[in-house]
């Protein structure tokens, strides 16, 4: 699957923002790349306080991106090209501009309108202390106080993310019923599935008790166990309801969870046979470039998912993460939190070399894989965007201490030697400025270079289709020296990843199908991957 972040994919009308017509025009590029489908990040009307994850109408299209007709055209033409289409659904919260929230503000305490959200009175003498100690993912308190109709400070509302994203109350039947309709609205239009944003946030512990965060007040959902506002068991009844709804449709419709939880075992609960179909593998995505760590996470993932019969997924990055060529060139190659490693220098050549090896490892594992737009071009994180253009709420909420995620959202370079590199017609200025060095990283430039990252992704995806063994369910580990991963796929195919400090000899009984670096002789150098097949 290929993640499209629509504002940064391709701009057809020359306003510097990507749009759905731009996406439609470029669908053949994705078919040629060899992916099976696309996941489109939110395309809904939104004030863009969080890049579109602050939705003000769940059944519309942001005018910046186009119209419902444009969305239909994307789905139709993607299907004609054999591509599935998954869209984002953002059920945990709405925009503060959503009519439901505006009605809740107007209706006042105790009203059914407020009952759709988590409004509470504050603590302290005059309600000036937030109702509990919950924090926001983007820094600071997880509560914001409103001004009531009489002009005085009043109740507080809870928000797991920015204050412009009030959390919905999923214990309220009206919310459940409204989302049934929203899901049907899109499935009726022919989308193949939904990616469920922030799935573990939906249910909250009864009574909204204080959280026990320990010393570090960061949103570390990969570590949280028993947290009252994350991965609360009640969440699963919501997904059972959705599964039944989706199963009533003809054809294959899937739900993909975005669920950053404390273990592969906790994740597997979301993937029981009557819940969601698959989930992003954050444990894998956030792992360090280290053979032992990677092998452990692969084994844990497969072991945890086997009992529920769900396929694994493998993913290196997304619109929320540091781009792999930058992350793997830093000292800190793991990332428990999106601020980890920010500001560290990165060795671009090393990072690119490792990202190539990591891509081949990801694409050799059993299950699905997710590629984030620009990953196939080896785009680096743009970590010197001027502060004035930064839009991620993380930047503002941290008082400028954390730059946030804009650096992985810079518009794609398609062609030509100068910005906007074919992203916009007529040379319009993209919403985030592209580095001039990206002239070497355009689709056009990389298509002409057999050693480019794009060529590697195209070759790897083609082989994944053509060599059936690479798609087998089984994986069998071979004994390997320290720092080396070596496993068989489907009997005759094999993947070797060298994360040790020195070159290793490849087995002469095998021939190389594809390698992440040019090979000299029979040796695989450090930070490289090779796919092999047994000699006939
Ligand atoms: C998910 C999205 C992220 C967004 C957040 C709040 O993690 O991927 O971009 O900020 O949810 O909706």
Residue pLDDT, tens place only, 192-224: 999 999 999 999 999 999 999 977 789 999 999
The model's pLDDT over 222-251, given as tens digits with 9 standing for 90+, comes to 999 999 999 999 999 999 999 999 999 998
Q: Say if ligand 1 is within 6 A of residue 161 CB.
A: yes
Q: What is the rounded average pLDDT of the residues 348-371?
A: 98
At residue 308, φ and ψ (nearest 5 deg) are -95, -5
41 Cα: distance to centroid of ligand 1 (angstroms)? 10
CB 273, CB 232: distance < 8 Å: no
Percent of the chain with pLDDT over 70: 100
pLDDT, mean of residues 458-476? 95
- The sign one gets for the Cα dihedral 414, 415, 421, 424 is negative
| Backbone angles phi and psi of 499, in degrees to 5 | -115, 20
For residue 53, the CA-to-ligand 1 centroid distance in Å is: 6
Q: What is the mean pLDDT of residues 161-187?
A: 98
First-last CA distance in the chain? 33
The answer, yes or no, to whether any atom of ligand 1 lies below 6 A from the CB of 321, is: no
- Residue 259 and residue 256: Cα distance in Å, rounded? 9
Residues 286-295 pLDDT 10s: 999 999 999 9
Residue 491 in this model has a pLDDT that exceeds 90: no
Which pLDDT belongs to residue 57?
Answer: 98
pLDDT at 338: 84
Q: Which atom of ligand 1 is nearest to the CA of 161?
A: 6
pLDDT(427) > 90? no
Could you give the CA distance from residue 407 to residue 316 in angstroms, rounded to a whole number?
Answer: 16
Pocket test for ligand 1, best of 197, 201, 321 (most atoms within 8 A of CB): 197
Span from the CA of 405 to the centroid of ligand 1 (angstroms) = 10
What pLDDT, on a 0 to 100 scale, did the predictor assign at position 433?
98
Q: Is the CB of 197 under 6 A from ligand 1?
A: yes
pLDDT for the residue 520: 84
User: What amino acid positions are annotated as catalytic residues?
Assistant: 197, 258
Domains and their CATH numbers in the chain: 2-94+172-447 (3.20.20.80), 99-158 (3.90.400.10), 474-534 (2.60.40.1180)
Q: What is the mean pLDDT of residues 10-16?
A: 98
Residue 536, pLDDT > 90, answer no
* Cα 83 to ligand 1 centroid, rounded to whole Å: 24
Q: How confident is the model at residue 522 (pLDDT cuts 50, 70, 90)?
A: confident
């Amino acid at each position: 699957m290929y993640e499209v972040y629509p504002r940064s994919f391709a701009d057809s009308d020359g306003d510097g923002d990507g749009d759905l017509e731009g996406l439609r025009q470029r669908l053949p590029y994705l078919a040629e790349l060899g992916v099976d489908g696309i996941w489109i990040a939110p395309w809904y009307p939104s004030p863009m306080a969080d890049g579109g994850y602050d939705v003000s109408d769940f059944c519309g299209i942001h005018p910046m991106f186009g119209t419902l007709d444009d969305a239909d055209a994307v789905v139709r033409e993607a299907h004609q090209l054999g591509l599935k289409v998954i869209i984002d659904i953002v059920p945990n919260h709405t925009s503060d501009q959503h009519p439901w929230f505006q009605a809740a503000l107007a209706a006042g305490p105790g009203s059914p309108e407020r009952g759709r959200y988590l409004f509470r009175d504050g603590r302290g003498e005059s309600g000036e202390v937030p109702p509990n100690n919950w924090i926001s993912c983007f820094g600071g308190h997880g509560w914001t106080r409103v001004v009531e109709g009489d002009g005085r400070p009043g109740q507080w509302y809870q928000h797991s993310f920015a204050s412009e994203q009030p959390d919905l109350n999923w214990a309220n039947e009206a919310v459940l019923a409204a989302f049934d309709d929203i899901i049907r609205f899109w499935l009726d239009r022919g989308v193949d599935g939904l990616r469920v944003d922030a799935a573990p946030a939906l249910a909250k512990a009864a009574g909204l008790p204080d959280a026990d965060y320990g010393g570090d007040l960061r949103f570390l959902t990969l570590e949280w166990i028993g947290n009252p506002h994350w991965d609360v068991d009640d969440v699963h009844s919501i997904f059972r309801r959705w599964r039944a709804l989706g199963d009533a449709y003809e054809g294959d419709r899937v739900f993909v969870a975005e669920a950053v939880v404390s273990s592969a075992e906790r994740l597997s609960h979301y993937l029981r046979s009557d819940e969601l179909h698959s989930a992003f593998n954050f444990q894998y995505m956030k792992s360090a470039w280290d053979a032992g760590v990677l092998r452990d996470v692969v084994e844990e993932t497969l072991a945890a998912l086997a009992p529920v019969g769900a396929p694994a997924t493998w993913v290196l990055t997304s619109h929320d993460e540091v781009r792999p060529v930058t992350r793997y060139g830093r000292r800190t190659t793991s990332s428990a939190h999106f601020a980890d490693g920010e500001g560290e220098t990165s060795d671009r050549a090393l990072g690119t070399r490792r990202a190539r090896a990591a891509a081949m490892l990801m694409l050799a594992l059993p299950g699905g894989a997710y590629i984030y737009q620009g990953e196939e071009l080896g785009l680096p994180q743009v970590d010197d965007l001027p502060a004035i253009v930064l839009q991620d709420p993380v930047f503002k909420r941290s008082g400028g201490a954390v730059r946030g995620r804009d650096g992985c959202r810079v518009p794609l370079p398609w062609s030509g030697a100068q910005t906007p590199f074919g992203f916009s017609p007529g040379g319009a200025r993209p919403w985030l400025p592209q580095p001039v060095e990206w002239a070497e990283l355009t689709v056009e430039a990389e298509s002409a270079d057999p050693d480019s990252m794009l060529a590697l992704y195209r070759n790897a995806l083609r082989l994944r289709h053509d060599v059936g063994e690479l798609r087998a369910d089984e994986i069998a580990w071979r004994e390997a020296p320290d720092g080396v991963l070596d496993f068989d796929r489907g009997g005759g195919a094999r993947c070797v990843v060298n994360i040790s400090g020195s070159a290793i000899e490849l087995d002469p009984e095998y021939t190389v199908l594809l390698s992440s670096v040019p090979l000299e002789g029979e040796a695989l150098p450090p930070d490289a991957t090779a796919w092999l097949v047994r000699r006939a």
